[in-house]
Amino acid sequence: MGEIRVESWSRASALPWSAIKDRIAAIEHECFGQDAFSQSELRLAFSGRRSLVVLLWDGPSDGGRLIGYTQAQPTDDPKTYYIANTAIAKGHQGRGLVRLLMDRLYADVRTAGARYMERDAAIANGYADKIVRFHAADVLETLDHDSPYGPQRFIRMRVPEP
């Protein structure tokens, strides 16, 4: 593993969607298999006018390999963003890298003027429990429910302070 870095991305970024779309789709498929979003669904989510996207790279800023991402969109409440997707390539999982993604995303959400985050997280793999435990002081509401992706936990929380 080389130099790990995060960067905010938008449709106005110097790196266009066409340059990252195949790698984003590959990570999505690797992590979610048949439940993966299609490349066209990802393009729409990433290129929304108020969408917030954070990319995770392994390597120097003048190159490197894209190894993860997270993406959030505003809800009907302008003070709330919904995290639609977070994925890290399997070879890089289990190293605490999701925290780098989330810290940058939370900063971007604060900059956008929002105070709350919402998301659904898988219960079966323990991810939902980890989020609730880690953000216990900020969690406002949870609700377990079934979904086409299996049992999920809806989590509403304040955007954590740095």
CATH at 78: 3.40.630.30
pLDDT for residue 11: 83
Q: Does residue 32 lie within any of the structural domains?
A: yes
Any domain includes 132: no
- For residue 159, being part of any structural domain is answered with no
CB atoms within 10 A of CB 27: 23
Range of the domain at 17: 4-114
Residue 77 lies in a domain: yes
**CA gap 121, 31 in Å, rounded:** 14
Residue 27 lies in a domain: yes
In whole angstroms, give the CA distance from residue 111 to residue 120.
23
Total of domains in the chain: 1
Residue 139 within any structural domain of the chain:
no
Residue 136 located in a structural domain: no
Q: What does the pLDDT read at residue 49?
A: 87
In 38-162 the beta strands, taken as DSSP E runs, fall at 52-58, 65-74, 80-88, 116-122, 139-145, 152-158
CB 29 within 8 A of CB 42: no
Residues of the chain short of pLDDT 70, as ranges, are: 1
Instruction: For residue 129, tell me if it sits in a domain.
Output: no
